[in-house]
A and B are shown apart, each in its own frame.
Chain A
Amino acid sequence: MTAAFTLSGVCKRYPAFALEDVDLALPEGEIMGLVGVNGAGKSTLLRLLGGLALPDRGTIEVLGHPMPAQQVQAKREIGLASEDMRLYGSQTLRWHMDLVRAAYPRWDEAYAGELLRRFDLRAAQPLKAFSHGQRVKALLLLNLARRPRLLLLDEPTTGLDPVARAEVLEALSEVLRDAARSVLFSSHDTHDIERLADRITFLHGGRVIDARDTAAFLDDWRRIVCHGALPASVGQWDGVASVRANGSLSELRVRGAEAVVGLLRAAGADVRSVDPMNLEEIFVATVRGGGKH
Chain B
Amino acid sequence: MPVGDGLFLSASDGRPMYQQIVDQVAAKVAAGDWPAGHALPSIRELASASQVSVITVKRAYLELERAGLIVTRHGKGSFVAETQELPKALLRADLEGRLREVARAAARLGVGIDELKRLLVAAHDDQASHTAARPEEATR
Contact = CB atoms under 8 A, between A and B. Distances in A.
Nearest to A176: B48
B48 A198 contact: no
Interface in A166-211: 169-170, 173-179, 191, 194-198
B110 to A, nearest CB: 5
B51 A214 contact: no
A215 to B, nearest CB: 6
Contacts of B55: 30, 198, 213-215
Contacts of B59: 215
Given A173-B51, A227-B110, A218 B45 contact: no
B110 A170 contact: no
Interface in B1-28: 1-2, 11, 16-18
A254 B44 CA distance: 32
A272 interface: yes
B52 interface: yes
Nearest to B42: A177
Interface in B28-69: 44-45, 47-49, 51-56, 59
Contacts of B128: none
Band of interface residues on B = 20 to 34
A273 B56 contact: no
A274 B107 contact: yes
A176 B47 contact: yes
Interface residues of A, number: 29
B108 interface: yes
Nearest to A278: B11
A197 B55 CA distance: 8
Contacts of B17: 195
Contacts of B49: 173
A62 to B, nearest CB: 21
Given A176-B44, A195-B51, A198-B54, A170 B108 contact: no
Contacts of A10: none
Nearest to A191: B11
Contacts of A29: 54
A178 B56 CA distance: 16
Contacts of A170: 1-2, 51
A270 interface: yes
Interface of B: 1-2, 11, 16-18, 44-45, 47-49, 51-56, 59, 104, 107-108, 110
Given A176-B47, A214-B55, 6 more contacts: A173-B48, A191-B11, A196-B52, A198-B55, A213-B55, A276-B16
12 contacts: A30-B55, A169-B51, A170-B1, A170-B51, A173-B49, A176-B47, A194-B11, A214-B56, A227-B110, A273-B104, A273-B107, A276-B16
